[in-house]
Amino acid sequence: MTTAQEVTTLSHFIGGEMTAGKSGRYGLVYNPTTGEVIAKVPLASVEETRVAIAKAQTVFPKWRDTSVAKRTEIVLKFRNLITENMDELLQIICRESGKTVEDAKGEITRGLESVDLAIGAPHLVKGEYSVDVGGQINAYSAKYPLGVVAAISPFNFPIMVPLAQTSMAIAVGNAVVLKASERVPMTSLYVSELWKKAGLPDGIWTVVNGDKDAVNEILENPSVQAISFVGSTPVAKYIYETGSKYGKRVTALGGGKNNMVVMPDADLEQVANAFIGAAYGAASQRCMAISTIMPVGQDTADRLVGILKDKISALKVGSYTEPDTDFGPVISQQSKDAVLAAIDRGESEGATVVCDGRDLDIVKESKGFFVGPTLLDNVKPGMEIYEQEVFGPARNIVRVDSLDEAIELINQHELGNGVTIFTNDGFAARQFTTQIDVGMVGVNVPIPIPVGYHNFAGFKGSRFGEGHMFGPDQARFFTKTKTVSERWMTSNASTSSTFAFPSNND
């Protein structure tokens, strides 16, 4: 680790070794807590990206032909190395993302769920076998890796999302090229060292740092067979449309505008505690963060606002080095400016500011990218802060008169990532889970993110393509199924020609 005054020049990880950038272009990596530049990250040229993909393609056949038992043995060693180096990983994640230690530790834990699932790859890639389907023919299906696959990861989860995108891909026999977020590249480079120590062959894991040049080469390069993307909805749409145009298998997960519906029978103290963690954790920089709370009935809303105001006002915003910090900064000055502008527009459009995160001393005086927890009441559909995803701690209240109204509003929104309802009424919960058009649904669960062995993806503008992140669908996404029909001829078998279509009547 470097001191606050040092600025490290980072590398790519290509062919099993750290490789200096050659493009002459660099991006700056900040410590969001202090606002200091802590590293320069090389931005790969098209040619550098092409070379990295070519090296991955060269070594893929040997990894494909490695037994699945040996592959999962290496994945298990990699998992153990993550846990053994947890403290170092925590420091890197906190330093380049601004997360609290608790939040970073939770991210690593969730990322390990994807690694654990990948260790079970032998079960997930089992094929099917049928004996004597007709004419002494046996038929079987088998799953094969695709080849070189790519992952493009976001800044908000420096390790969890890359692990979810790549662990299964490696376990089932692919070579992976990761285009890590240029805002948080140090975690992925450290993970590269762990893969090497685990015994992964050189070239099977590649990290290319870069911007649109690198991304476009990944999208267009004929050697790349599949792409997994997580980020904003506009970019997800671009990734899906461009990658599909070039014949690739693409799953592109976009943003979320996630709602928490609160029924009158819910315990509002429990609701408030659940909402605060789900809404403001990680400075609200989660695609599954609760953006909008929808209390049903004016009395429910009035009582809930009173409870929330006191609890939100008591939250502490600060550095990850302070143990009692609830959440830290947003990722950049640009993000901070965007969140503050969204609050200003919400207020100008008629929303009521219940808790104002613009007024904290740390927001005004620190060089870090801090925004205090903000809550806007009386927000209406059509207001920008309701319609657009705000990737920062500015949350809103939309009052509704009935569960039907809440369901209708949520289903009308262009995003459908996550949603939850708090109620003690089983009928209301059943109606909600049945009628809601959202990919991940919670009942009395504040953040309905599935565990690593269940599929993760939203609906509508929150997902482009049919693949998922997490879950068994990862094994299907990163493999292709080959079906074989075979018959071994005996010496007395007929040698005459037949022109009928093969059938099981033979």
CATH topology of domain 8-254+462-483: Aldehyde Dehydrogenase; Chain A, domain 1 (3.40.605)
Helix (H, G, I), strand (E, B) or coil at 39: strand
Going by their DSSP bridges, the two strands 415-416 and 459-460 should be labelled as: antiparallel
Tell me the percentage of the chain whose pLDDT exceeds 90.
86
One-character DSSP codes across 127-152: -EEEEEEETTEEEEEEEEE-SEEEEE
User: What is the model's pLDDT at position 498?
Assistant: 67
pLDDT of residue 493 exceeding 80, the answer is no
Q: What is residue 447's DSSP assignment?
A: S
Query: Would you say the C-alpha torsion 251, 278, 451, 167 has a positive or negative sign?
Result: positive
Identify whether 287 is a catalytic site residue.
Answer: yes
Rounded to the nearest 10 degrees, the angle between the axes of helix 86-97 and helix 101-119 is 120
pLDDT of residue 183 exceeding 50, the answer is yes
User: What is the model's pLDDT at position 3?
Assistant: 45
Q: What is residue 450's DSSP assignment?
A: P
Residue 114 gets the label, from left (phi > 0), alpha (psi -120 to 50) or beta, of alpha
Strand order in the sheet with 36-42: 8-9, 36-42, 26-31
Around Cβ 137, how many Cβ atoms within 10 Å?
Answer: 16
User: What is the model's pLDDT at position 269?
Assistant: 97
User: What is the model's pLDDT at position 468?
Assistant: 83
Strand order in the sheet with 12-14: 17-19, 12-14, 205-207, 175-179, 148-152, 224-230, 249-253, 463-464
User: What is the model's pLDDT at position 381?
Assistant: 94
Average pLDDT over residues 404-408: 98
- Whose tokens are 């919670």? That residue is 442
The Cα–Cα gap between 51 and 44 comes to: 10
User: What is the model's pLDDT at position 69?
Assistant: 92
In the chain, the amino acid numbered 23 is S
Q: Which of 4, 32, 8, 86 is nearest to 320 (CA)?
A: 32
pLDDT band at 506 (very low <50, low <70, confident <90, very high): low
- Per annotation, catalytic residue among 194, 252, 287, 288: 287
pLDDT band at 1 (very low <50, low <70, confident <90, very high): very low
Instruction: Pinpoint the alpha helices (H) of 323-373.
Output: 333-348, 361-365
CATH topology of domain 258-443: Aldehyde Dehydrogenase; Chain A, domain 2 (3.40.309)
Token pair in block for residue 188: 């992925």
Computed over every residue of the chain, the mean pLDDT equals 94
- Lowest-confidence range among 152-156, 168-172, 384-388, 487-491? 487-491
User: What is the model's pLDDT at position 79?
Assistant: 98
The residues spanned by each domain of the chain are 8-254+462-483, 258-443
Average pLDDT over residues 83-111: 96
Token pair in block for residue 358: 């613009």
CB 259 within 8 A of CB 291: yes
Q: Which of 294, 327, 301, 323 is nearest to 393 (CA)?
A: 327
In the chain, the amino acid numbered 34 is T
- Lowest-confidence range among 27-41, 173-187, 456-470? 456-470
Q: What is the pTM of this model?
A: 0.92
User: What is the model's pLDDT at position 108?
Assistant: 97
pLDDT of residue 125 exceeding 70, the answer is yes
Over residues 445-470, the pLDDT tens digits come to 998 888 877 888 888 988 999 888 87
Average pLDDT over residues 100-127: 94
pLDDT of residue 281 exceeding 90, the answer is yes
User: What is the model's pLDDT at position 500?
Assistant: 66
User: What is the model's pLDDT at position 495?
Assistant: 62
pLDDT band at 501 (very low <50, low <70, confident <90, very high): low
Tell me the percentage of the chain whose pLDDT exceeds 70.
96
User: What is the model's pLDDT at position 32?
Assistant: 97
User: What is the model's pLDDT at position 48?
Assistant: 97
Q: Which backbone phi and psi does 227 adopt, to 5 degrees? A: -135, 130
pLDDT of residue 200 exceeding 70, the answer is yes
The Cα–Cα gap between 243 and 266 comes to: 45
Q: What is the 3-state secondary structure (H, E, C) of 321-333?
A: CCCCCCECCCCCH
**Given 3-state DSSP classes, what are the helix, strand and coil percentages for the chain, each rounded to the nearest 5?**
40, 25, 35
Average pLDDT over residues 42-58: 98
User: What is the model's pLDDT at position 2?
Assistant: 42
